Structure 1
Amino acid sequence: MNIVWQYLDKRAATIKVLKDYNSMKHIIERTDDDISMIYDGMISPSSPVNDGMPTVRNPQANENRITHTIDKIDVLKERLRQALEYMDWFQPAWDELTEDEQFVLHEFYMVEEQSQTSAVYNICDRFNIERSSAYNKKNRTLERLTLLLYGK
């Protein structure tokens, strides 16, 4: 085992992984549409701008626009590759959790713009438990996911 793993804060890393899930899912769902929209913009002619300023002729303007668009597409493809790699790594561990464990982690870390207090109340309502039990349930579930993702 690599010595670096002993110094990695696996719990904090797991929390960051959970918070990134929605972003990665969004990237996977939207990248093909974004690429096709950018590509369509690349092949359509640009319209003249009538803003009263004198024009400057740039003989490489079309080539510049095409290379800039290709660079954008490359960035989107790399981002998609990373999102797919993330999902290939994360999804098997997530699927190992029970539905209740997934609910707990989802409420705490994956619902955007929700306070921790609201998450605790939602968990308490679902399982009919006290707040301290909800935090304990979250900690146990987070430890289990950390173990599934990173091992010991």
Structure 2
Amino acid sequence: MSIIWKYLDKRSAAVDALKDYSSMKFIIEHTDDEIKAAYEKMGGVSSPQSDGMPRTHNPHAVEDRMIKGIEEIDVLKERYRQAVEYMAWFLPAWEELSEDERYVLEAFYGDGNEYGSSVIYKIADHFHIEQSSAYNKKNRALHHLTILLFGKS
């Protein structure tokens, strides 16, 4: 085991993983369409642009466009690979959480929710508890997720 694991802030890493979930899900769902669009851009003939500026002839324009397209596809495929790897690591831990724990963590760290907003009131109302108990519920859920993701905290 590397010494770096001893000093890794696992709680912060768990929060970052929660915040990345929706992005990774989006990448997995939309990468195929983005790759198809990149292939289509590579093969088509570019249309002339008439903006009044003089043009120079580039005999390698088609090759340049194809190289740019191949590079873009490589980036998309690597991003997709990382998203799949992330989901294989994150989803088993996420699914192990109770429904209440997932609700609390999604409310605090999910898309469009900023920590410190009125989310604590929503959680307190949802569970019919005080705000301090809602914060404690969030802390317990985050601690449980941290242990599931990284092992012993």
Q: TM-score, normalised by structure 2?
A: 0.95
**What's the counterpart of residue 103 of structure 2?**
103
Q: Report which stretch shifted further, 48-57 or 4-13.
A: 48-57
**What's the counterpart of residue 146 of structure 2?**
146
**What's the counterpart of residue 9 of structure 1?**
9
For residues 150 and 79 of structure 1, the distance between their equivalents in structure 2, rounded to whole angstroms, comes to 23
For residues 52 and 6 of structure 1, the distance between their equivalents in structure 2, rounded to whole angstroms, comes to 62
RMSD, matched Cα: 1.1
How far residue 52 of structure 1 moved from its aligned partner, in angstroms, is 1.8
> Identity of aligned pairs, percent?
58
Per-residue displacement from partner, 1:3-39 (whole Å, max 9, x unpaired)? Answer: 2111000001111110111111111111111111111
Which residue identity lines up with residue 123 of structure 2 in the other structure? I
Unaligned runs of 5+ residues in structure 1 are none
Q: Report which stretch shifted further, 5-14 or 107-116.
A: 107-116
**What's the counterpart of residue 88 of structure 1?**
88
Unaligned runs of 5+ residues in structure 2 are none
For residues 37 and 14 of structure 1, the distance between their equivalents in structure 2, rounded to whole angstroms, comes to 34
**What's the counterpart of residue 24 of structure 1?**
24
SS at match of 1:117: coil
**What's the counterpart of residue 72 of structure 1?**
72
Q: TM-score, normalised by structure 1?
A: 0.96
Which residue identity lines up with residue 101 of structure 1 in the other structure? E
**What's the counterpart of residue 56 of structure 2?**
56
SS at match of 2:8: coil
For residues 19 and 124 of structure 1, the distance between their equivalents in structure 2, rounded to whole angstroms, comes to 22
